[in-house]
Each structure stands twice: as structure tokens, then as C-alpha cells.
Chains A and B, each alone.
Chain A
Amino acid sequence: MSLKYDLSAGTTRGLNQKLHSLGIANNTESINVINPNGAHALAVGLSSPLKINIQGHVGYYCAGMNQMAEVTVDGNAGPAVAENMMSGYITVTGNVSHYAGATAHGGTLLVCGDASSRCGISLKGADIIVKGSVGHMSAFMAQSGRMVVCGDAGEALGDSLYETRLYVRGSVASLGADCVQKSMAEKHKNELEALLICAGITGADAAEFNRFGSARKLYNFKVDNADAY
């Protein structure tokens, strides 16, 4: 069954209540949301395998803390789209603002345009795939999971990185503290190819990407590393 929710007539509260109740009832497969007009906190806290298509631009925290749902934003997204996502699949057809996928634990965030600064900040296990470029300080303190950038990366990529694996096809303006380029072994190419296939990206060859990760030199405080901070 497919439903439509018009935000020019309804409210954010009304939409989220509807989505939460549909999750409990579990008898609706897809919902089209129209006229979002940049509203914040749309489709947040979902915990069932709903399919939601938001036709237009959204504000902050769209699909925040998502579990299982597939959410597509047919437009641009404001800050922290898919923040702390646990599972599911979030697609933004346009560009995204700061902190996209912040602290996300699982699931996949696909950005078809560009992502602004701090994309994947404190990432905790999710996959973020950006068809365009990412801004400065992306993957800051990212702990686990993977981030794929088909375009370029801004300054201080992967600053204070933990175990997240970063794949960048274009240029990297600069690397952050303790982030280094690493070799692309066969297993990494295979991993990247799987991620590209998952995102439906056919125009990029895994061999064109470079891999970045943590040098692991700052994992334990040593006074001799003080100038790195």
C-alpha cells in the first residue's frame, strides 16, 4: 500500500507520528511526502522497514537515528542527515550540508551530489558514499565503517581518525592528524567495488581510488606526539 503525506497541510509532528504508527501496524510499504519546504527532523526515529520518498528539500536531521527504513530525499538535505543512523538506507539525490551521517552506527547513506564539511564525523560503523566531493574535516574522529568519495576531499580529511576506511577518487586537499594514505590491497578493491555496486555507481573504477586510514600513532597519548595536537 502506498500513502501520501502533504506537509503543506500537515505538520512535522503529524508526519512522524504517522510514520511511527505505520511502523507498528506494519501494513504500509511506501509513503510519499510532499512539500517538505526545508522542514527539520522529518522521518526521524523510524524503526521499521518503511520506504519513504520525500519530494523536495529537507532541513536538519532528516532520517535521524534511522533503523531499517529506506528514506529517499529527492532534493537537498540540511545538516546532519541520517545522524546516528543504526541501519537502513538513506539516499539524497542532491547535496547535503554539514555533518552528514554524523556518528552513524550502521546502514548506508548515499549522497548523489556533494557533502559539506564534517561529513561522517565520529562515524561508528555505517557506510557513507558520496558521488560528488566532501568538505573539510570530513571523517573527523571517525571510528569505524567506510566512507567513499567519488570526487575530491577538502582539508584535514580524516583528522584524528580511528578505524574507518576512507576511499577517495579525486584529490585530497590535505590530511588531518594521524590520517595517512594506505595501499589498496585486493581485499580493499573488492570492498570498494561492493560499496559502489551497492550505491548503483557504475561510472567509477575501484582502481581509480586511493585508500586512507589511521596511522594509529595517536591512539595512546605520548608526550613526544604533543606537536600533533
Chain B
Amino acid sequence: MPIKKDGDGPINVNELRSRLKESATYPREVIAEIQRAAETGIYDIRGWGAKRSVPNFDDLLFLGASMSRYPLEGYREKCTTSVTLGTRFATKPIELKIPITVAGMSFGALSGAAKEALGRGATIAGTSTTTGDGGMTPEEREHSDLLVYQLLPSRYGMNPDDLRKADAIEIVVGQGAKPGGGGMLLGQKISERVAGMRDLPQEIDQRSACRHPDWTGPDDLAIKIQELREITNWEKPIYIKIGAARTYYDTALAVKAGADVVVLDGMQGGTAATQDVFIEHVGIPTLPALRQAVEALQELDMHRKVQLIVSGGIRSGADVAKALAMGADAVSIGVAALIALGDNSPAFEKEYNSLGTSAGFYDDWHEGRDPAGISTQDEELAARFDPVMGGRRLANYLNVLTLETQTLARANGKSHVHNLEPEDLVALTIEAAAMAGVPLAGTDWIPGRK
């Protein structure tokens, strides 16, 4: 319907909007994407994880304690948080003070100072951080008391000396943002140092393979794990990281292949650079994936024997506590850790605006122009970031997550966060009840179960 103008005066935008009808099939962001695709001829690449709304931990509630359960006194009665990872085969399992770890993020995707800050923050909080595609930097090792070394398909920077220096080894089969996809580090972020660590020329797009170069399938992987254990004298815990897809079977196969720890990354998990279509349309949310992984472990009688770390959209102590109650041994944070460091800070609003975005929305991490100096290799931008301050901020955030988790555990009468259990949870929606395997609030109904 044409909009009538009153004389030559300005259009009243609010009135205009109240009269226009936006298409549910073609909302403005869809139209904008079609226009962008027509202009550029290339798919949209971005960082971050899935931005679409999916059932998540917010759809669950704790019941707390009342007549039938005793709570523990906050600030008085102890609620411990320690986690031991790698008890199955490794002769030197690692001990975390808190059930929250920092996920793998590469030097290359992040600046050296940002990687250092992740190590500093994790160390203050008593937990581990993880390398990423591109190998281990000396700064990262120096500032991380507990460092998990990733073995990725690209094998960029992989060497036996760093393998032996690691506290644990994580074989990355996939990640939640892109199960079945490889890595991507575009040319603008390839500094001389990054290129050198990866044995590639500078300024070319570095596309990490989506499959490992020297094994195919879980039978081969079992032998690969044997090799890694032989090289490291059977000391290091070996994790297998999977993106949430066919999670029940993938978890079972990871156990069969010999993992000490399974790391499960849901579709909300972050990435440094991936096609938007991949991020939003492949893989399943963390909530159902976690339930499936726990079921697989229980069926194999390996729950708590092979530890389970869950990542993908962990933001608060409530998320941590709910993941633990569903059966995880620990969680891992990536995007939230970057935000804690200072990513998407309103302090850089003007600069975000100049990049065509705004604080809270910035996800072009692959372009290397991060005003916060975190997801960049530009020396001037990176110099803005203080790794000591960043580490302190991350430690503060990890402490808050831990305190919140303890608060919820005590409210449910638990003296260790691992004592949280599915029985403590209910779901707000039928979908979340079915996915998490807990009853719809106020009922004893778990959809899909008799």
C-alpha cells in the first residue's frame, strides 16, 4: 500500500513502520544477504558461533531444595569444584580447580598477547587453556600452568617437542560451529610469524583440512592415539574433540578409539572464520548433544571414567551448573572468554561503527581489524591489548562463573558441583524437555520416554 505524504514535510518513520508489513519469509536481514551475495558473488564468512535461536540451557531450571531436599549454607558450607581429567589411561591426569576450561583458539586467529592473556587468566583461576591451529607459542606455554595441545588436521606447527611440553593432547575431529569443516585463516591475518609457524607463504589464505592426513575412521584413530601415547610415554591425557552431530555414536566411537576425555562442542560454539551458512545450518545445539553424549557414556559404563567436557554457548554459572547436572564433568568457554578479554567492548563503539558494525555485533574476526586488538595480527591494533589486564579480566569472569555454579549447587544441596544431577532440573519447553531428557516443569513428562 503506498504511503501518503502530508505535503512536503518529512516522513514520520515510526508511522511508516506501523503501516508496513515485513515478510516473514523475506525479513530485512534476508533481503540484505541476497543483496550482499548479488554484489560480491561470495558467501558470507564470519566468526562467532550460531546466532539463530535454539533450545539452550536458559530453557532449563533448577528445582532447588525445599522439604524433600536440604540446601547447603551459602558462604559457610563447602561446595568443592575440582575436576580430574584423564584418569582412564594417562599416568599423569590433570587437576583443575574449577570445572571450566578455556577452549582451543589459534595464534593466528588471535594475537600473541591475547593468547598470553588466556593463559594468564586460566592459570590464575586454576584451570587449563588450549592451543589451536598453528601450534604452541612460547608465550602461551610460559603463561599457562596447564596447557592442552591440539592435534588438528592441518598439523600446522605440530612438533614432538611441544607435544612433550603439553599437559594434555586434544585430537580435534571437529568443532560445533562447523562439524565436517576445516579451518580458515584468511591472508590478511597471516603475519610473518604466523606464516613461519605454519610453513606457508605470507598473505595467502590458509585453509586447514577437514580430515586428518594420516588416519581415517575410529579404528585408525585408535592406532594414532597409541602412537601419541608412545611418543609421550603414556603420561598425557588424550582428549578427542567432536562437533555436535551424530553425538551418541561419535561419543561411543571416541571412547572406543581410546580417549581419556571427550570434548563435545555444540553448534553455538565459536569459530574464528567460517561460512555463515555452515555455522547456522550444520550440527545440533549443545543441549541435545550433551544428553546424547552422556547416554553413550552411561551405556558403555564409562560415564565419569572417560570425562566429558562440553562447550558451545556457555555464558554463565547457570549454564555451567546445568551442563554439569546433565552429566558433563567440565565445560569449556571460547566466545565468552574473548568477550571477557574485551572483545565487542562498547569502549570501541566508534571504531566498530567505522567497520560497519556495532559493539555486541562485531563478528568479522577473520578480517584482522579488531579494534580491541584481540582477533588480529596487526601490530598497532594488537598493541592496544594488555595481556596482564586481559588475564585478570578472564580470571575475574571465571571466578564469577565458579561462584554462580557453587551457588546453584548449594541451592540444590550439593557439596560438590559434580553431585548435581538431572533430577535437579526441569524444562520450560517441550522441546527442551525432549532434548535435555528432563521433565517439563510441573509434570513428570519427558517427551520421547515412556
Contacts and interface: CB of A to CB of B under 8 A. Distances in A.
A103 B155 contact: yes
B159 A84 contact: yes
A86 B160 contact: yes
A78 to B, nearest CB: 9
A209 interface: no
Contacts of A45: 160, 163-164, 230-232
Interface string A52-71: 00000001110011010000
Given A124-B199, A219-B205, A61 B223 contact: yes
Nearest to A224: B41
A79 B214 contact: yes
Interface size class of A (residues with CB under 8 A): 35 or more
Interface string B140-169: 000000000000001100111101100000
A169 B418 CA distance: 63
A17 B233 contact: yes
Nearest to B40: A223
A191 B265 CA distance: 47
Interface in A95-124: 99, 102-103, 105, 118, 121-122, 124
A221 B155 contact: no
A149 interface: no
A91 interface: no
Nearest to A221: B205
A16 B230 contact: yes
A83 B214 contact: yes
Nearest to B151: A84
Find the residue from A12, A20, A64, A67 having the highest chain B CB count within 10 A: A64
Contact of A102 (B186, B187, B213): B213
Contact of A80 (B160, B215, B230, B234): B215
A95 B205 CA distance: 35
B187 A99 contact: no
A41 B201 contact: no
B209 interface: yes
A182 interface: no
Given A17-B233, A103-B158, A105-B159, A41 B223 contact: yes
B220 interface: yes
A40 interface: yes
Contact of A219 (B199, B201, B220, B231): B201
B214 A80 contact: yes
B20 interface: no
Nearest to B201: A163
Interface in B202-231: 203-205, 209, 213-215, 220, 223-224, 226-227, 230-231
A103 B213 contact: yes
Interface in A9-44: 12-13, 16-17, 20, 40-41, 44
A77 to B, nearest CB: 13
B135 to A, nearest CB: 11
Contacts of B230: 12-13, 16, 41, 44-45
17 contacts: A12-B226, A12-B230, A41-B226, A44-B227, A60-B224, A61-B223, A65-B160, A80-B215, A84-B155, A103-B158, A122-B155, A143-B200, A144-B199, A163-B201, A219-B205, A220-B205, A221-B205
Given A40-B223, A102-B155, A105-B159, 7 more contacts: A16-B230, A41-B223, A65-B160, A80-B214, A122-B154, A221-B42, A221-B205
The 5 closest A-B pairs by CB, nearest first: A45-B231, A80-B214, A219-B204, A65-B160, A103-B155
Interface of A: 12-13, 16-17, 20, 40-41, 44-45, 47, 59-61, 64-65, 67, 79-80, 83-84, 86, 99, 102-103, 105, 118, 121-122, 124-125, 141, 143-144, 162-163, 219-221, 223
